Amino acid sequence: MPKVKVTFLPMKKTVEVDTEKAPFQHDGLPGSILDIALANGINLEHACGGNCACTTCHVIVQKGMENLTELHEREADLVDKAAGVTIKSRLGCQAVVLKGEVTVEIPPYTVNQM
């Protein structure tokens, strides 16, 4: 797979990673927004350890939704419970970057349902 670029807002930090080297660390699906964030020093809350059991890694995809894996049923059920949910909301631990460029906003709040 080619390298991908992920921009994290509001810090305006863009990282470029080679998805073939995923996982980059141990939380979230390999190559997920959470995996990429943590491996690059970007704090993205993840109370459940990236296991799709809470909503603390909620992100809002501003650009590049088509470059992510599809939203599956378990993630959809949880993301609906996130604070400030939008039609562009995803869980960082489940949204794997497949190609291209993605821009995500990390909301200033989280909901820990653990």
Place of tokens 């979230």: 28
Domain-embedded: residue 114:
no
First vs last C-alpha separation in the chain: 35
Strand partners, 18: 3
Domain-embedded: residue 110:
no
Residue 9 structure tokens: 């807002």
Domain-embedded: residue 60:
yes
Domain-embedded: residue 75:
yes
Domain-embedded: residue 112:
no
Mean pLDDT confidence for 24-40: 95
Task: Give the type of residue at 10.
Answer: P
Domain-embedded: residue 16:
yes
CATH number at residue 88: 3.10.20.30
Under a CB-based contact definition with an 8 Å cutoff, are residues 33 and 6 in contact? yes
Domain count for the chain: 1
Query: pLDDT tens across 45-83, in order?
Result: 999 999 999 999 999 999 999 999 999 999 999 999 999
Residue 75: Cβ within 10 Å count: 19
Integer Cα distance of 114 and 80 in angstroms? 16
Range of the domain at 55: 3-105
Eight-state DSSP code of residue 9: E
Q: What is the pLDDT of residue 21?
A: 92
Domain-embedded: residue 77:
yes
Task: Give the type of residue at 5.
Answer: K
Domain-embedded: residue 81:
yes
pLDDT at 85 over 60: yes
Q: What is the pLDDT of residue 7?
A: 98
pTM above 0.85, yes or no: yes
